[in-house]
Amino acid sequence: MRTNRRAFGKQTLAGVVGGVLSFRERSPAATAVPPIGQTNKPPLSGIKIDHRLNPNPTEEDLAFFKQCGVEYATIWTTIENSNYDYFINTRKLLEKNGIQLLNVGIRNLHGDPAMVLGLPGWQEKFEQYKGYLTNLGKAGIAYTTYAHMANTHIEAYYQTGLATARGGVPTRVFDWEVAKNLPLSHGRVYQEEEIWATFTRFIKEVMPVAEKARVRIGVHPSDPPLPSLGGVPCIFRNFAAYERAMEIARSEYFGVCLCVGTWAEGGQTMGKDVYEALRYFGNGGRLFKVHFRNVDAPLPKFREMFLDEGYVDMYRVMQVLREVNYQGVIMPDHVPGEGLRGINTAYTLGYMRALRSRVYARG
């Protein structure tokens, strides 16, 4: 049975946002941890809800998490915090508040141009990344997301404020007709095999460290999944790219951070639709994390939308995750119009929890 999205959305917003704004709703403390890790807490069976959290969370941040029923946290910070003390202290703080720490990502090492393009300093970045993995493992944090795309921090290719989601909320839009005329992002045109060569070098260096630390690496698809952007090939732009990467890595600690929105951006060019990809990677044990978001259309032009107004059936996405017995997290991503806390984010989290409840209730 297909969910009536409009009615479903109104019910979710009324119930969840009201609870968040009143600061009265409480959720049970989560005790779940990833299947591969070094902590001794028993796993919570099934799909878990994750959300990004400030690197130095306030009481208001933690209250928002608990009241929205968020069970896991993902934190993005800088290289200064890439150490064991920060990781373990943050993890313990969150656990005191009933929240499990899924990952602490380091922006300086995520899609870093030196590593992706082989620029001067890539060796130092590799060593930093290996130290980062070791410290994650020591702190009992068993997962990290990586993106091998040198333009991940360049917002010029997206346009903000020129489009809206429901209710007139500003949202990001990508238009290939605009982006293709922008200057080169890194001074020259790179060849695809150059980027595959740097990826191979990266993986061969870091996977032995990841395995020793028992930290899984989930690779995010290139966003947007074009052949090239700003002169840099987007190698993780389809299903075939992941097959090639799996063959290079040859490790159970290497897998996929599957962004539903990015996969939807690619449309038919991805080789498998998003439901097929989730089923394939889920059944193969390589689906490590899911970014739960939606867009209004595939390339060449798309807007980032609320979950229930994009073209992907998010209820069907949740059904597939249930069918493959996915034990990882799903998290909001690129919520229109705001940052980490607010009405739109609360609506999104409530919608996710309601979808999850529905698929488990159906058995």
Residue 36 region, left (φ>0) first, then alpha (ψ -120 to 50), else beta?
beta
Residue appearing with tokens 């007139």: 168
Mean pLDDT of each 10-residue bin along the chain, 363 residues long: 43 40 32 36 72 96 95 97 98 96 95 95 97 98 96 72 86 92 92 98 98 98 95 97 98 98 98 98 97 97 96 98 97 88 95 96 80
CATH classification code of 5-361: 3.20.20.150
Residues 6+ apart with CB under 8 A from 2: 313, 315
Q: How many CB atoms are located within 10 Å of the residue 167 CB?
A: 10
pLDDT of residue 295: 97
pLDDT of residue 158: 79
pLDDT of residue 341: 86
pLDDT of residue 159: 74
Segments making up each domain of the chain, as ranges: 5-361
Buried b (16+ CB within 10 A) or exposed e, 68-88: bbbbbbbbbbeeebbeeebbb
pLDDT of residue 339: 75
